[in-house]
Every structure is written in structure tokens, then in C-alpha cells.
């Protein structure tokens, strides 16, 4: 009875409230409006929460595009026995290998660096730090895929391996980041794969400095508990050792991303605890710029034209089930408006098809992977066809034809080298050399000309360049001078007069001087001359009187 009385009371109150609203009671109308707004708000919150649960968490980049797929629910996963001091990278031990802090090298430094890696490297491009022109990355990619998979797509070439892609892009320096997707393997296997990848990249393009970047840390709360900080720290120490052994450099960026507990710092990871957030990527790229590697550009010039790089689909290493229609996060927004997909040609290497309307991708349900038996490569297009399944690809070893730019012909062998592609041929206009008959040596230049008709010239190997003589003192008896410059040459002083015996003329009685009558004009005072004696004048005085 109490319940019915209560309901009756509520019903009467609502009826009276509605009557007052109909009678245009301002207070009751205001209460009604507020109630409606509150109800709408509650419904919106509940709807959004339900959608989050059904679709999984996602984040948006600064362009508003989804950049991370749904991940398993993240849980706090304490690593058993994790000691963040167990695998510390000692900068003194790795002096010269670990990059040290310097001035911010700016965006130009990023632009001239090729970044190779997994989904975190993909995010560098998605968030606008790099472009497809200086990145080679794929979601879920591991270091083993560098050699085992043709996973990088280029216009005119199709899918090629990472080493071939590096050769096409011709970078000044390379930064490699792998390891998150390799945390299930042993450290020794991981390092062996890494070493093979570096060696093969260098075989394809030996003009770039290689930087091995640290594996980024993970959050304590993460979706994949098998990826542990203990493994990541061990990987990074091994990578520093590998960089030292392989004459590479090590970028210890992990220190910029860790918190005080050794895990990723708060806010640096997405909700899955594996992928870097916008804040985390900001910290990483600042560390890259402030720990630059400045070395001389060793690339040959001129560089070749770089073909357009097309981003590898997110589904390349994560093929969806054949029955799945939506297979990539990037196509999720298009699914609502594209209800009838028009699937394009199947990629014979991966089995992936792209919808020509919305860009969604799927795995062709009729595609079967097998080991291709490639036929002869077409030297004009570089294409080769599998004799088993008819698949077509661009031969990764093919070089497109071009007009050669020939350098100077070697006159000994007749060989000349193309300055663009390095091709070598014998100059069709070259004539083999003959035995020269050298003419006289030019005393001033030392050059000789072949008198056999070929017109070749050479410098006489026995010729000594002339020099200006520095003449020593003149020998008074012979008039000869000797060069003091070391050549030993002699000459007679052109100003020298041979010596002669003077024939002295008469002596001047007043001066005693004599002049040589032999023609030399010499004078002397007669050694026998005496100055003349002056006689006193007679006295003219009168004697005194007696």
C-alpha cells in the first residue's frame, strides 16, 4: 500500500507539473528545459562510452587521422625481477660510439636522415616529423623483415627489399629502430639479424653513416606483457656493442623516454603502453636533433633521381581474415560511406587488394603464397615473371637504362666510366698506343713530341728545369766566376780586364805623378820623386856705416 501511495503521489505531482507547464508557468518551463538537457547529456555520455568499448581505443594525430589501431586491454604488468641498473650503457666504455648532446641540429638534420623502423617510425611520418621521402617503415615490422621481405613500395619498381630501397633513396645517414616486435626472440638471435641487415644495407649503399637507435621503453601498464623492460634493456646494451663492432653509432634515445622507475615516462605512451604518444614523439625527436651526427657527405655526385616511395599498408605484416571487409584503421572512416567495395588488382607479392573507392585494403581470399620461380629480367622495364604463378615484380637487382655520361678515356686501356651509373666500356674511338719516338727536349719546358705521327707529348724524365745563376766573385787573374746556386756552372766575368805591366811616363816635377803609357790610364806618384827645393832670395839691406 505504501508503494502504491508513493506512486500515486509521484503521478499526481507530474500531472500537476505538466498542467502548470501547459498554463505557461515560467518556472516549470525552465525546470522542464533543464531536465531535457540533462537527459540528453547522460544519453550522449553513455553512447560514447559504449562506442569506445566496442571499437577499441584510438588516438588522433594533429591532422585528425586515426594513427593507432585497437589494442588489447592494457593492464599493469610488473616485470619479475626487473632491475633498471642491470644493463646500463656506460658512455665511457662506448666513447665515440654513443652520440653525445650538442646543439639542436634542426629540421634540416631530420630531412637529410633516412629513418628505418617499425610502427613507431611510421608515426614519425604520420605526425609530420618526416615524410615518405626520408622514411622506410611498416607496422608490425621486425629486424628480420629487412632481408626476408620485399616490403617497401616504389613507383616504377613495385615492392623491393629494404637494402634495395636504401640504394634507391641514396641517404646521407640512416637511423634504424627495431626491437619492439622482436622482444619474443633471444638477444643473440636479434643481434645476428641486426648485423646481417646492416651488412647487407652497406653492400647496397656504402655512402651513408648508420645510427642504431635504442629500442623505446614500454609502460608498466601495457597490452603486451611479453614485451618486458628487462628484454628491452638487454637488447639496447647488445645494440651498443654491435654499433661499436660494426663501426656504427648508437643513439641512446631510451634515456629521454624513461621515467624514474625505468619504464616509459608518464604521458609518453598511448593507452596500449607500446606506441609513442604525441608527447613521447616530441621528446624522441628533440633527442634526435640534440644528439646529431655531423660527418662529411660521402655520397657520389650527381645523385640519381629518387622514385616516389609509397607507404606500406598497415595490413602488410598483419593480413586480415579473408572474410573481413575492413582491414585497416586508415580505411575505417570510409567504411560508413563505401558499402560496395571495388577491389583492385591483387598484389602478387603480398596478396593485398585496395578498394578503388575508399582505399580500404584486404587480403585476396584466392591468393596463395608460394616460392616464386622468376624468369629472365626484361632489361628495358626490369620486370620478371614467375613461371609458376604468373606473378610479376621488378627485379631488385635491375638498374633502369639511361643515357651514359662518359668520363675521360684512359689512354692506356681505352676504358671510360659513366659518371652517373658507374658502367664501364671501351671508348670506340680509342686507338691502342704505339712505341713513341721522342724528339728533342725543349730546354725551357723539358717537353718532347713524338715524331712517329701520333702527336703525343711527354716531359723528358732526364730534364732539369733551368735556373738563374748566382755568380760568385771574379778571379782577378782569369776573370772566371762560379755559380753559387749549386749547379757548378762557370763563366768569365764580362766586365773583367786582363792584368798588364804598367809603363810609367815622365814624372811631373811639381807633383811627382806618373801616367801609364800602356793604355790603361793608371796613375801613381813616382816613388823616387822629391819635392823641389825653394832657394832663399838675395838680401837687399844696407850694411851699417863703419
* Banded pLDDT at 297 (limits 50, 70, 90): very high
What does the block give as the cell for 51?
562506442
CA distance 59 to 267: 13
| Residue with cell string 645523385 | 303
Residue 420 pLDDT grade (very low, low, confident, very high; cuts 50, 70, 90): confident
* Higher pLDDT, residue 415 or 7: 415
Give residue 203's Cα distance to chain centre: 16
What's the rounded Cα separation, in Å, for the pair 512 and 472?
Answer: 39
The SS3 assignment for 269 reads strand
Nearest Cα neighbor of 75 from 261, 228, 272, 274 is 272
Confidence class of residue 349 from pLDDT cuts 50, 70 and 90? low
Q: What's residue 129's pLDDT?
A: 94
- HSE toward the beta carbon, residue 319, CA cutoff 13 A: 15
SS3 479: coil
Which one has a higher pLDDT value, 48 or 450? 450
Q: Identify the band that residue 191 occupies on the pLDDT scale cut at 50, 70 and 90.
A: very high
pLDDT band at 13 (very low <50, low <70, confident <90, very high): confident
pLDDT of residue 1: 45
Q: Which pLDDT belongs to residue 76?
A: 61
Report which secondary-structure segment, H or E, holds 403: none
Asked if 204 and 196 count as a contact pair (C-beta separation under 8 A), the reply is: no
Range 225-228 contact pairs with CB under 8 angstroms and sequence separation of 24 or more? 225/75, 225/77, 226/183, 226/184, 227/180, 227/183, 227/274, 228/79, 228/82, 228/183
What is the torsional sign of CA 177, 181, 184, 188?
negative
Query: Which is more confident, 72 or 352?
Result: 352
pLDDT tens digits for range 208-244: 999 999 999 999 988 888 899 999 999 999 999 999 9
Q: Write out the three cell numbers for 119.
A: 610502427
Confidence of residue 68 (pLDDT cuts 50, 70, 90): very low
pLDDT over 60 at 435, yes or no: yes
C-alpha cell of residue 222: 601495457
pLDDT of residue 95: 94
Q: Is the pLDDT of residue 53 over 50?
A: no
Grid cell at residue 399: 638498374
User: Who wins on pLDDT, 143 or 370?
Assistant: 143
494-508 pLDDT, tens digit each: 998 787 788 989 999
Tell me the longest C-alpha to C-alpha distance in the chain: 212
Cα(236)–Cα(97) distance, rounded to whole angstroms? 13
- Tell me if 222 sits within 8 A of 274, measured CB to CB: yes
CA 165 to CA 160: how far, in whole Å?
A: 6
Q: How would residue 29 be classed by pLDDT, with cut points 50, 70 and 90?
A: confident
Per-residue pLDDT tens digits for 92-103 = 999 999 999 999
Average pLDDT over the chain, rounded to whole?
A: 83
pLDDT at 489: 86
Which residues, in sequence order, are CB contacts of 524 under 8 Å at separation 6+?
502, 504, 513, 514
Give the model confidence (pLDDT) of 120-171 as tens digits: 999 999 999 999 999 999 999 999 999 989 999 999 889 999 999 999 999 9
Q: How confident is the model at residue 543 (pLDDT cuts 50, 70, 90)?
A: low
pLDDT tens digit sequence for 102-114: 999 999 999 999 9
Compute how many other C-beta atoms are within 10 angstroms of the C-beta atom of residue 483: 16
Amino acid at each position: 500500500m505504501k508503494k502504491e501511495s508513493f506512486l500515486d503521489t509521484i503521478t499526481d505531482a507530474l500531472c500537476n507539473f505538466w498542467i502548470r507547464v501547459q498554463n505557461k508557468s515560467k518556472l516549470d518551463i525552465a525546470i522542464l528545459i533543464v531536465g531535457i538537457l540533462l537527459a540528453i547529456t547522460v544519453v550522449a555520455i553513455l553512447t560514447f562510452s559504449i562506442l569506445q568499448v566496442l571499437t577499441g581505443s584510438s588516438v588522433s594525430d594533429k591532422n585528425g587521422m586515426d594513427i593507432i589501431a585497437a589494442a588489447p586491454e592494457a593492464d599493469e604488468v610488473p616485470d619479475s625481477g626487473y632491475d633498471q641498473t642491470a644493463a646500463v650503457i656506460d658512455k665511457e666504455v662506448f666513447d665515440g660510439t654513443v652520440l653525445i648532446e650538442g646543439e639542436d641540429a634542426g629540421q634540416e638534420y631530420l630531412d637529410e636522415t633516412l629513418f628505418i623502423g617499425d610502427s613507431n617510425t611510421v608515426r614519425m611520418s604520420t605526425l609530420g616529423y618526416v615524410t615518405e621521402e626520408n622514411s622506410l617503415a611498416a607496422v608490425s615490422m621486425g629486424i628480420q623483415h629487412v632481408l626476408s621481405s620485399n616490403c617497401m613500395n616504389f613507383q616504377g619498381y613495385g615492392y623491393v627489399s629494404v637494402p634495395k630501397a636504401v640504394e634507391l633513396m641514396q641517404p646521407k645517414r640512416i637511423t634504424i629502430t627495431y626491437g619492439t616486435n622482436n622482444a619474443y626472440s633471444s638477444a643473440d638471435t636479434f643481434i645476428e639479424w641486426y648485423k646481417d641487415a646492416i651488412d647487407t644495407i652497406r653492400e647496397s649503399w656504402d655512402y651513408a653513416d648508420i645510427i642504431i637507435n635504442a629500442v623505446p621503453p614500454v609502460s608498466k601498464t601495457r597490452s603486451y606483457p611479453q614485451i618486458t623492460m628487462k628484454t628491452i634493456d638487454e637488447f639496447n646494451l647488445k645494440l651498443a656493442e654491435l654499433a661499436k663492432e660494426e663501426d656504427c653509432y648508437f643513439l641512446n634515445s631510451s634515456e629521454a623516454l624513461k621515467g624514474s622507475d625505468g619504464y616509459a615516462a608518464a604521458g609518453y605512451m598511448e593507452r596500449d603502453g607500446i606506441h609513442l604518444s604525441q608527447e613521447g614523439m616530441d621528446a624522441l625527436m628533440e633527442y634526435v636533433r640534440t644528439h646529431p651526427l655531423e660527418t662529411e657527405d660521402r655520397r657520389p655526385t650527381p645523385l640519381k633521381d629518387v622514385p616516389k616511395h609509397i607507404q606500406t599498408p598497415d595490413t602488410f605484416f598483419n593480413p586480415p581474415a579473408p572474410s573481413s571487409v575492413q582491414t585497416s584503421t586508415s580505411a575505417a572512416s570510409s567504411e560508413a560511406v563505401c558499402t560496395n567495395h571495388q577491389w583492385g588488382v591483387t598484389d602478387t607479392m603480398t596478396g593485398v587488394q585496395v578498394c578503388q573507392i575508399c582505399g580500404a585494403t584486404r587480403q585476396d581470399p584466392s591468393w596463395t603464397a608460394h616460392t616464386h620461380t622468376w624468369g629472365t629480367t626484361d632489361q628495358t622495364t626490369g620486370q620478371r615473371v614467375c613461371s609458376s604463378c604468373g606473378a610479376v615484380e621488378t627485379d631488385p637487382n635491375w638498374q633502369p637504362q639511361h643515357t651514359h655520361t662518359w668520363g675521360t678515356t684512359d689512354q692506356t686501356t681505352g676504358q671510360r666510366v659513366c659518371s652517373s651509373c658507374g658502367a664501364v666500356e671501351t671508348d670506340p674511338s680509342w686507338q691502342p698506343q704505339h712505341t713513341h719516338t721522342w724528339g728533342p727536349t725543349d730546354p725551357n719546358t723539358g717537353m718532347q713530341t713524338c715524331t712517329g705521327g701520333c702527336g703525343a707529348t711527354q716531359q723528358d724524365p732526364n730534364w732539369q728545369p733551368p735556373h738563374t745563376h748566382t755568380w760568385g766573385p771574379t778571379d782577378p787573374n782569369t776573370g772566371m766566376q762560379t755559380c753559387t746556386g749549386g749547379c757548378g756552372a762557370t763563366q768569365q766575368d764580362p766586365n773583367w780586364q786582363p792584368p798588364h805591366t804598367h809603363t810609367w811616363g815622365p814624372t811631373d816635377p811639381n807633383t811627382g805623378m806618373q801616367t801609364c803609357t800602356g793604355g790603361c790610364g793608371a796613375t801613381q806618384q813616382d816613388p823616387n820623386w822629391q819635392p823641389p827645393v825653394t832657394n832663399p832670395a838675395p838680401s837687399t839691406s844696407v850694411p851699417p856705416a863703419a
